Amino acid sequence: GFIVSPDGVILTNAHVVQGADEVTVKLQDRREFRAKVLGSDPRTDVAVLKIDAKGLPVAPLGKSQSLLVGEWVLAIGSPFGLESTVTAGVVSATGRAIADASVPFIQTDVAVNPGNSGGPLFNTRGEVVGINSQIYSMTGGYQGLSFSIPIDLAVRIKDQIVATGKVQHAKLGVGVQEVSQAFADSFKLETVEGALVSTVERGGPADRAGLKSGDVIRSANGKPIVSSIELPAMLNLAKPGDKVALD
């Protein structure tokens, strides 16, 4: 994890503290504190801890929305128990949607292994732009693909947990599927992109907004949707009550 406020608020992954009866935080100066889990959100894999301390050094937070593909980034963690290990790589995507996840991940080729989870991903200005969360691997070890939670999303989750102890997520109320070449041809779409609305929840936000089965959602708040799994990841950035512009 990493410290985000001088009074001991710490960000990490939800899966790091899942099922724990007791959480101990060890600082760089080797001091150890028993931590309280203020809350966790399995949906985004973000957890917030609190230790009883003051005047702690804080990791400066950047803006993940300003991160560019091709930009160099650094991960710091304790892979296999090796403390303060730094690995470097470049950004492959800034809004990568992967199956069974509702987070617009930062994809990099930074080496991330067991023990890196919850650690910070830094840009070259020393600002945290993500939380290292998971890898894609056939072996259990690093194979060139690693994924980090955007810090903009993590901070939004953290603020909700600190304020209320829980997290709320927006819901559109649709089921979507991929736009195939055959569908694009039959509907005379210029590109094989978007999220095809397959079902609409009766009485839900999408239903009230007039979405119908067979509609194709091409963008959300101006951001193009190429694959259907990108839509849930984008909507996860919204809170209940927010307005989202769909094309």
Catalytic status, residue 159 = no
The CA distance from 69 to 123, in Å, is 12
Catalytic status, residue 169 = no
Residue closest to 35 by CA, chosen among 27, 24, 46: 24
The single residue of 41, 45, 152, 215 carrying the catalytic annotation is 45
Q: What does residue 53 show for φ and ψ, rounded to 5 degrees?
A: -155, 160
For residue 169, give the H/E element and its range. Answer: none
Start-to-end Cα distance in the chain: 38
The single residue of 15, 109, 207, 227 carrying the catalytic annotation is 15
The CA distance from 79 to 85, in Å, is 7
The CA distance from 147 to 98, in Å, is 10
The single residue of 40, 64, 117, 219 carrying the catalytic annotation is 117
Residue closest to 49 by CA, chosen among 149, 162, 155: 162
Catalytic status, residue 45 = yes
Positions annotated as catalytic residues are 15, 45, 117
